[in-house]
Structure 1
Amino acid sequence: MYIGELARLTGATPKALRHYETLGLLKGVRRAGVYRRYTQQDLAQVTLIRQAQSLGFRLAELLPILAGDDTDWAALRRHVADKRAQLHQEIARLQRLDAQLQSIDTEIIDCLQRA
């Protein structure tokens, strides 16, 4: 498949796909003349990259895991665990913020009832 079809199937722009290739996240992209030819494996790789990005991973975090000859699944699991820990911390922070807002709202209701 050509770059336009890969872009359509993955939601990535052609510019992003060329960037992934430059970074080494897409390896061994074949050419047909001046056109890039992508495989089903490239489709799976871009899908994984896009999914990781949507979950908050930066390309710089993905490079050491996905840019080698084989995906380092153990390293990817560690990164996922780290992201989950960060997410849990953020959830706890937001819950504390919500509790503070609830407290302020309760105080406002008390003031309105006294008025």
Structure 2
Amino acid sequence: MYIGEFARLAGTTPKAIRLYEQLGLLPEPRRRGKYRVYRAEDLEWVAFIREAQRLGCKLSELVPLLAGLTRLAEFPWQAVEQLVAGKLAQIEAEMARLQRQHQGLSQCAALLAQHPCRYGAPVRQDRGEWDHPVEVDQAHEVA
């Protein structure tokens, strides 16, 4: 099949397929004249790449795993397992950071809820500032 049909079946675009090839993520396709010809097996490569991207892998992380491979039988499952373990560790660290941030924001929200200026009441900055009566604008007084 040609690149348009292949991309459609793979759920992507011909541009993405060309990029995967350029990066070495897909085996070099056979050619019929100037046209690329893909096999059904090649859909599995694209499915793996797209799923890896969906799970947070960057194409640059996949290049060392897939570059130069020509058959699925050569697939580096052990390296993929290491990549997955590394991604899980990154996610766990990010979750811990977000949990700390959540706790800090929750504490801040609780303190703000108790603050006297929450409902528009003025906060006394300097005791002397509030000891003197405020002069009322005579133009606004009602007789």
TM-score (norm 1): 0.87
Point out where structure 1 has 5 or more consecutive residues left out of the alignment.
none
Question: Where does residue 90 of structure 1 map in the other structure?
Answer: 94
3-state SS, counterpart of residue 56 of structure 2:
coil
3-state SS, counterpart of residue 36 of structure 2:
strand
Give the AA of the match of 1:81. Answer: A
The alignment-based identity, stated in percent, is 50
Question: Where does residue 50 of structure 1 map in the other structure?
Answer: 50
3-state SS, counterpart of residue 18 of structure 2:
helix
Give the AA of the match of 2:6. Answer: L
Q: Is contact 1:3–1:37 with CA below 8 Å preserved after alignment?
A: yes
Question: Where does residue 62 of structure 2 map in the other structure?
Answer: 62
3-state SS, counterpart of residue 31 of structure 1:
strand
Name the one with the larger helix percent: 1
How many residue pairs align between the two structures?
A: 114
Q: Is contact 1:2–1:35 with CA below 8 Å preserved after alignment?
A: yes
Q: Is contact 1:7–1:13 with CA below 8 Å preserved after alignment?
A: yes
Matched, 1:23 2:23: yes
Structure 1 segments (4+ residues) deviating >4 Å: none
Higher relative contact order (CA 8 A, sep 6+): 1
Q: Tell me the CA shift for residue 33 of structure 1.
A: 2.1
The Cα RMSD (Å) is: 1.7
Point out where structure 2 has 5 or more consecutive residues left out of the alignment.
122-143
Give the AA of the match of 1:98. Answer: H
